[in-house]
Structure 1
Amino acid sequence: MKPACSYAATHAASLANPAGFWAAQAQHLAWDRPFAEALSQDENGTYHWFRGGQLNTSFLCLDAHVQQGRGNQSALIYDSPVTSTLRTYTYAELLDLTARFAGGLRNLGVAFGDRVIIYMPNMPEAVVAMLACARLGAIHSVVFGGFAPHELAVRIDDAQPRVIICASGGIEFDRVIPYKPLVEEALAKATHQPAHVVVCQRGFVTAAMQLGRDVDFATLLQSEPVPAVPVPATHPLYILYTSGTTGRPKGVVRDHGGHAVALHFSMRTIYGLAPGETIFTGSDIGWAVGHSYIVYGPLLRGCTTVLFEGKPVRTPDAGTFWRLAAQHHAKVMFTAPTAIRAIKKEDPEGLLAQQYDLSGLRHLFLAGERCDPATYAWAGQLLGVSVVDHWWQTESGWPMLATLVGLEGMPAPRAGSAGHPVPGYDVQVLDEAGHPVPAGTTGLVAVKLPLPPGCFPTLWHDDVRYQDYLKTFPGYYLSGDGGYRDSEGYCYIMGRVDDVINVAGHRLSTGEIEEILAAHPAVAECAVLGLADSLKGQVPAGLVVLKDGQAMGEEQLEKELVAAVRARIGALACFRQVLVVARLPKTRSGKILRKTLRQLADGENFALPATIDDPLILDEIRAGLQRRSLGAAFETSPPTPPML
């Protein structure tokens, strides 16, 4: 796709006249009823986009393309090495399945405004379920397949779904995880009880059905198809729960109108994709990336999207992502830096990538966490394409900082930087008093209101916590991340604000130190913690995972890493301690649990994050910290948090 407009002019126009700019972008979509005004505020001062307008996201994703003659184009490619399945669905086929399943849901009593929880892995039926809910004006909430029963129960009680849709099970590498028992346990814990549980039976595991309550997914697909229901632009499309600082999840709400306009715009300008082109997004539908860039974004744009059920490694090897991109002719690939580091760890020379023709790939986009320059450089050299690190959050729903490859005059990507503000976002770096800081100075990353379309207009039934995002600096959304802007306008996100440590009065970014550690040839990935220190306030310590086949001793590695940090940052960093670990604790979406690690090392009590991928690793790290006498962990042994 050839860039059509300049970045500078587009971004300036979006800030000078937000209502006019987004009203023009909205014309790319079909509206059942035109909106009265693009941007408005209610009596509480909350901004709304496209009030008065009506449309339907499912219609825009499916019917519109079929009506335009692209019914035979591939819409969804399902590639599942774990089940040995490869299936392509055209837009016409996906529309038929969605319309029939929506008819089945309607027969179960699901109507406009009802909530439906979807508890499934990456499988076509999950995409059909999402689109079917949107078709009816029902509000879906996808919960990561295999999530712990307690956490599922919390979401059931908060969303109060009329129906739960689940798979009979999923596969993690070579391990089958039955989902239905987890759903039953969650329902036993929950106060709210849905009217029905719809079960999609999979060949490798069969779920027991409860007479009168449970319904077979395949049976609903035999229903009469139903048309899309026009809904207000401000009507919720979905609720997506994200972690809260209190341990109680926050239900991020996304609306139909602003969401559709923003994602369509992003597919054109950020990712530079034309209708008919293919994107492979290595994520899960349970996360924001999966919602936006596996399902809705590609389908709104008329692209082909690859739905992958598996992992970047061991399904069957570290070349899986390269095989997917080559086989399905992906023009754009999007994943998390964690995935690239996992591939790099198992195939440090990138030999597996050489088995595939990746000449059609134009860009690799990375997001979900900060990408260290070592990983950035490795991926770029291996693939020979531009690597674009960009930054966004569940709350925003689409990128806030990026290199927009679909616009002219865009400064080239730069290692360590998340790029420049996306049109619609007035990104500022502020000090603790709310004043902009000079270039090169680390501060708090905030976005001036109004937020553009696509961002969350509220939290589900929790306006109090929604206001927490806005009250620190009136007129701004506070992202919770720290970073800086350099003299050339490149923005750098250095991690959550609590990942900025204060060493004897010096504010140091753990991300900056992690860059140095990750550049060492023996290090696969790392995390830097700010440990409590009675003299200096905090001191940094590094946890590192070695690349496969590395046999360097911990003492020698520590010596080399300490020297590297001293050379780059100086003695003021007080970096003296390194612990080699087998792996790092992460969320299921790949984010390293740095705050939990710090609390563990400092001997603080903490609640085990619901999203942790492997709870047992915390005990292994605690033992290592005690062995090396790092932090307070060797002095106190807090009880092991409850396992999932």
Structure 2
Amino acid sequence: MFLQRIGNKGIRLGTLFDRAAARHPANFVILDHDLDIAPGLGRRASLTEIAGLIDDFASRLWSVQVRPGDHVVVHKSDNFDISLLACAVARIGAIPVLLSPKLDGETVAELLRRVGRPFLVTDQEKLDTSLPAEVHELSRQVLLASGEYAGTTTFASLAGVPRVPAVSMPADHPTLITHTSGTTGTPKLAVHTGKSFQARYRPQATIVAAGVRRSEPVAVHVSFVHSRMFTAMPISILQGHPLIVLREDDPETVGDLFSQVPPGFIEAHPNTFLRWEVLADDPRGPLANVKYFSSTFDAIHPRTVNRLLQGSRRSGRRFAQAYGQSEVGPIAARTYSLKDGADFNGRCVGMPFPGMTGVRVVSRDGNQPTKENPGFIEVRSDGRIVTYLGEHHRWEKQVNNGWWRMGDVGYRTKYGCLHLLDREVDEIPGVQSTLEIEDKLFTRLPDLVEVIIIPGADGTPVPVVCTRDNKPLDQVTWKSAVAGLPPMGDPVQWRLEDLPQTATTKIKRLELARLLTAEGPAAQ
């Protein structure tokens, strides 16, 4: 029924909350922070209130001559209003371009050039601390979500403008632009359409609809600029689930909120779930009501999956992991239960969605791809982006007769299950899979909160480790844990907060390798 209601119109971000409020007027959204654009709204708002807020800010944008087809870059301090502003931009037919609050000012300036004199929505804090002065020249107009700054227009000054009707755009028109992780350089700008988002709905909406009662809240801790936010959010509110939106991932704060409003479904980044392992032992039982945990961003370690499942008391509880990419959405998936233990094969990322996605592994040398001789993973999906803005040639390089090169290496078993071994750029000669080694170390060393295997200056695999509460790594325990693993250099201990991270908390391995070779100051 839900999937039929989406029809062929694709995602309509601009009227998303209007439609959700019409179907479920008593439903609400709970926040763990105040909105910068509407601090008086509070942390529990009805769908109707949020729909009105989006309508209001869409009208404010219209009043400064933002029109259908215009690009509006949103780069401001981390807040759920980033996602709401994207809806406001889309409501008047313009195209939101979302840039992570974690991007440095020079990268933001470069992406503004690539877009080509867009409107820029930012705030005083960003202009005071990180954005270079040239962003004013690179933007048609600079709008402030909060604070004041010379030469800009504040949203507050536009309060009370006449409301304007929503603008309907074709389903194949760009509806949102997000950026790639930037793990290998300057991020690329991925162009999504209503149709491509619709294709991503189908597999994800099925899981939520089948596993969680409508009355149960869905909790989301996802980067507000990531494409996943714009499928997780609609699925939740259109199906009638109360939505919990988290900015913070501090376990104590999250435990407080989940104890008061127990979610039935949680979507988060792998590294967020890693931090939340401690909630499994929390006497308040913040995870007790969770039927499904879900993650679609990166490899997640078996230990983390097992610990989270131990924290739930629901029968039939599952952890759903999807393999995908910002450019194509979810492609393959599998679920885990408690009986899988803490040492299952985390490199098995599941099967494609029947009738929705396809996967093949292309040989690199003419031989059948295997674990010992992995090939390039390529996928098919209607959820694929239509281009990289300003860099269509780079998009074309990854497409081969409709198959999209993921940039990963792996193989498929005789039953069709996909195994992901490594990113192409992260392969280390002589190491079959750095991810597999990391999985094993996590299982064997409970105090690890991160471990990344990267090449040292001479090519030797070097483990960079982070421990809970930054406790010194026990060398005797370490030597026991690496027994039977490929030879590696001595571990280097870092603080977790010092590791270079993307907007979705992935570790930038190439950047970390560069820092390690340069003996960066964060190394301990």
Give the TM-score, by structure 2 length: 0.85
Distance (Å, rounded) in 1 between the aligned partners of 2:368 and 2:304: 31
Distance (Å, rounded) in 2 between the aligned partners of 1:550 and 1:618: 20
Residue of structure 2 in register with 1:546 after alignment: 467
1:308 aligns with 2:233: no
- Given candidates 148, 163, 169, the residue that maps to 1:208 is 148
Residue of structure 2 in register with 1:278 after alignment: 217
- Given candidates 90, 97, 112, the residue that maps to 1:156 is 112
1:77 aligns with 2:34: no
1:500 aligns with 2:427: yes
SS in 1 for 2:128: helix
Whether the 8 Å contact between 2:30 and 2:243 is mirrored in structure 1 is: yes
1:481 aligns with 2:420: no
Distance (Å, rounded) in 1 between the aligned partners of 2:416 and 2:208: 18
1:325 aligns with 2:258: yes
Distance (Å, rounded) in 1 between the aligned partners of 2:26 and 2:45: 9
SS in 2 for 1:330: coil
- CA drift at 1:71: 2.7
Residue of structure 2 in register with 1:180 after alignment: 127
Change (3 A) 1:122 1:209: closer
Change (3 A) 1:30 1:510: closer
Whether the 8 Å contact between 2:306 and 2:341 is mirrored in structure 1 is: no
Residue of structure 1 in register with 2:201 after alignment: 263
Whether the 8 Å contact between 1:56 and 1:228 is mirrored in structure 2 is: no
Whether the 8 Å contact between 1:123 and 1:307 is mirrored in structure 2 is: no
Give the partner amino acid of 1:105: L
Give the partner amino acid of 1:548: D
- Gaps spanning 5+ residues in structure 2: where? none
Whether the 8 Å contact between 2:303 and 2:442 is mirrored in structure 1 is: yes
- CA drift at 1:499: 2.3
1:585 aligns with 2:500: yes
Residue of structure 2 in register with 1:298 after alignment: 236
1:559 aligns with 2:479: yes
Change (3 A) 1:145 1:498: closer
Residue of structure 2 in register with 1:594 after alignment: 509
Change (3 A) 1:433 1:229: farther
Identity %: 20
- CA drift at 1:564: 4.3
Q: Please show how residues 612-631 of structure 1 align to structure 2 within 5 Å.
A: 618-621=520-523
After superposing the two structures, state which structure 1 stretch, 147-156 or 380-389, moved more: 380-389
Distance (Å, rounded) in 2 between the aligned partners of 1:439 and 1:585: 30
- CA drift at 1:252: 0.1
Distance (Å, rounded) in 2 between the aligned partners of 1:563 and 1:620: 28
Residue of structure 1 in register with 2:488 after alignment: 575
Distance (Å, rounded) in 2 between the aligned partners of 1:519 and 1:81: 38
Change (3 A) 1:462 1:271: farther
Q: Please show how residues 305-454 of structure 1 align to structure 2 within 5 Å.
A: 305-310=243-248, 312-313=249-250, 318-344=251-277, 347=278, 350-351=280-281, 353-384=282-313, 385-396=317-328, 398-403=329-334, 416=346, 417-423=348-354, 424-433=356-365, 437=369, 442-448=374-380, 451-452=381-382, 454=383
SS in 1 for 2:399: helix
Residue of structure 2 in register with 1:512 after alignment: 436
Q: Deviations for 1:41-85, whole angstroms, at most 9, x for unmatched residues?
A: xxxxxxxxxxxx6884322x12333444x23322x3222299999
Distance (Å, rounded) in 2 between the aligned partners of 1:245 and 1:587: 7
Distance (Å, rounded) in 2 between the aligned partners of 1:126 and 1:529: 34
Give the partner amino acid of 2:128: P
Whether the 8 Å contact between 1:78 and 1:123 is mirrored in structure 2 is: no
Change (3 A) 1:133 1:576: closer
Give the partner amino acid of 2:139: Q
Give the partner amino acid of 1:524: V
1:289 aligns with 2:228: yes
Give the partner amino acid of 1:71: P
Residue of structure 2 in register with 1:64 after alignment: 19
1:524 aligns with 2:449: yes
Distance (Å, rounded) in 2 between the aligned partners of 1:251 and 1:602: 30
Give the partner amino acid of 2:435: G
Distance (Å, rounded) in 1 between the aligned partners of 2:253 and 2:215: 23
1:120 aligns with 2:22: no
Q: Deviations for 1:604-638, whole angstroms, at most 9, x for unmatched residues?
A: xxxxxxxxxxxxx94333xx6xxxxxxxxxxxxxx
After superposing the two structures, state which structure 1 stretch, 578-587 or 436-445, moved more: 436-445
Whether the 8 Å contact between 2:209 and 2:239 is mirrored in structure 1 is: no
Whether the 8 Å contact between 1:278 and 1:330 is mirrored in structure 2 is: yes
Give the partner amino acid of 1:78: L
Distance (Å, rounded) in 1 between the aligned partners of 2:507 and 2:263: 28
- Given candidates 38, 61, 65, the residue that maps to 1:109 is 65
Change (3 A) 1:486 1:321: farther
Distance (Å, rounded) in 2 between the aligned partners of 1:304 and 1:481: 36
Whether the 8 Å contact between 1:55 and 1:230 is mirrored in structure 2 is: no
SS in 1 for 2:349: coil
Residue of structure 2 in register with 1:229 after alignment: 167
Give the partner amino acid of 1:159: V
After superposing the two structures, state which structure 1 stretch, 507-516 or 523-532, moved more: 523-532
Q: Please show how residues 161-172 of structure 1 align to structure 2 within 5 Å.
A: 161-168=117-124
Distance (Å, rounded) in 1 between the aligned partners of 2:239 and 2:202: 6
Q: Deviations for 1:567-608, whole angstroms, at most 9, x for unmatched residues?
A: xxxxxx3335323333343334211222223344556xxxxx
Change (3 A) 1:321 1:484: farther
Change (3 A) 1:324 1:392: farther
Aligned residue pairs total 508
Higher Rg = 1
Whether the 8 Å contact between 1:282 and 1:334 is mirrored in structure 2 is: yes
- Gaps spanning 5+ residues in structure 1: where? 5-24, 32-52, 169-177, 202-206, 406-410, 566-572, 604-616, 625-644
Distance (Å, rounded) in 2 between the aligned partners of 1:56 and 1:337: 28
Q: Deviations for 1:367-395, whole angstroms, at most 9, x for unmatched residues?
A: 32211222222222233532222222111
Give the partner amino acid of 2:138: H
Give the TM-score, by structure 1 length: 0.71
Give the partner amino acid of 1:29: I
Whether the 8 Å contact between 1:445 and 1:481 is mirrored in structure 2 is: yes
- Given candidates 190, 199, 219, the residue that maps to 2:144 is 199
Distance (Å, rounded) in 2 between the aligned partners of 1:160 and 1:77: 36
Q: Deviations for 1:396-440, whole angstroms, at most 9, x for unmatched residues?
A: 2x31122379xxxxx999651322212411112222157763588
Residue of structure 1 in register with 2:5 after alignment: 28
Distance (Å, rounded) in 2 between the aligned partners of 1:330 and 1:86: 20
